[in-house]
């Protein structure tokens, strides 16, 4: 009898980086009283600006360097931040299941956590009705633990959500990317 060969085909790359805050981003966000609503945010608010990282060039550069590392592993070139915003989650706040159509790589930079950690939940893109039993090859969702200053990068097509915030505030800067035109 021949040995069984297993092929892990088409893995999905998700990366976690640590970004050193070199600017006053946390205090600026916490002091911002001009926030708006967004339909997918429960128990929180969103910045009205979609160019937040333009105000923090050192942080934007670190994030772009992380994107470059991520896309290089995927064989992609010239992917840049297209827009960025921040979400402030109050106690019990979370974000509904969503993805980022029209973007290539999306990211979440956790600039302020009052708890030691939080979680981003990423759904398996394969249809769950195909499975009779769960194995390491077909989890319904993967839970990624994040801490303050963590940056998560993932394919924009993946549906994701967050756990409810258990502290008074959690702040996350999010962004989408596109190819350089």
One digit per residue, the tens of pLDDT, for the chain of length 181 reads 889 998 888 889 999 999 987 779 999 999 998 899 999 999 999 999 999 999 999 999 999 999 999 999 999 999 999 999 999 999 999 999 999 999 999 999 999 999 999 999 999 998 888 888 888 888 899 999 999 999 999 999 999 999 999 999 999 999 999 999 7
Please say whether the beta carbons of 142 and 122 come within 8 A.
Answer: yes
Please give the structure tokens belonging to residue 137: 């090859």
The answer to whether residue 90 sits within a structural domain is yes
The answer to whether residue 107 sits within a structural domain is yes
CA distance 68 to 57: 16
Q: 128: domain range?
A: 15-179
Q: Which residues contact 129 (CB under 8 A, 6 or more apart)?
A: none
The answer to whether residue 104 sits within a structural domain is yes
The answer to whether residue 22 sits within a structural domain is yes
CA distance 13 to 33: 36
Q: Which residues contact 84 (CB under 8 A, 6 or more apart)?
A: 50, 51, 52, 53, 54, 60, 173, 174, 175, 176
Residue 40: CATH number of its domain: 2.60.120.620
Instruction: Provide the number of structural domains found in the chain.
Output: 1
The answer to whether residue 169 sits within a structural domain is yes
- The reported pLDDT for the residue numbered 7 is 87
List % helix, strand, coil for the chain (3-state, nearest 5).
Answer: 15, 40, 45
CA distance 115 to 138: 30
The answer to whether residue 2 sits within a structural domain is no
The answer to whether residue 115 sits within a structural domain is yes
CA distance 131 to 137: 10
The answer to whether residue 163 sits within a structural domain is yes
């Amino acid at each position: 009898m021949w040995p069984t060969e297993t092929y892990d085909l088409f893995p999905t790359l998700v990366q976690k980086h640590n970004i050193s805050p070199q600017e006053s981003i946390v205090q600026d966000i916490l002091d911002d009283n001009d926030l708006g609503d967004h339909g997918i945010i429960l128990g929180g608010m969103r910045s009205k600006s979609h160019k937040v990282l333009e105000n923090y060039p050192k942080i934007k550069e670190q994030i772009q360097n992380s994107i470059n590392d991520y896309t290089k592993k995927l064989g992609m070139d010239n992917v840049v931040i297209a827009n960025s915003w921040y979400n402030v989650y109050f106690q019990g706040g979370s974000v509904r299941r969503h993805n980022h159509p029209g973007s290539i790589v999306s990211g979440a930079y956790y600039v302020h956590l009052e708890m030691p950690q939080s979680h981003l939940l990423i759904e398996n893109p394969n249809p769950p009705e195909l499975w009779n039993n769960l194995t390491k090859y077909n989890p319904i969702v993967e839970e990624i633990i994040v801490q303050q200053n963590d940056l998560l990068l993932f394919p924009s097509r993946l549906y994701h959500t967050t756990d409810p915030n258990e502290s008074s505030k959690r702040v996350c800067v999010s962004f989408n990317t596109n190819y350089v035109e």
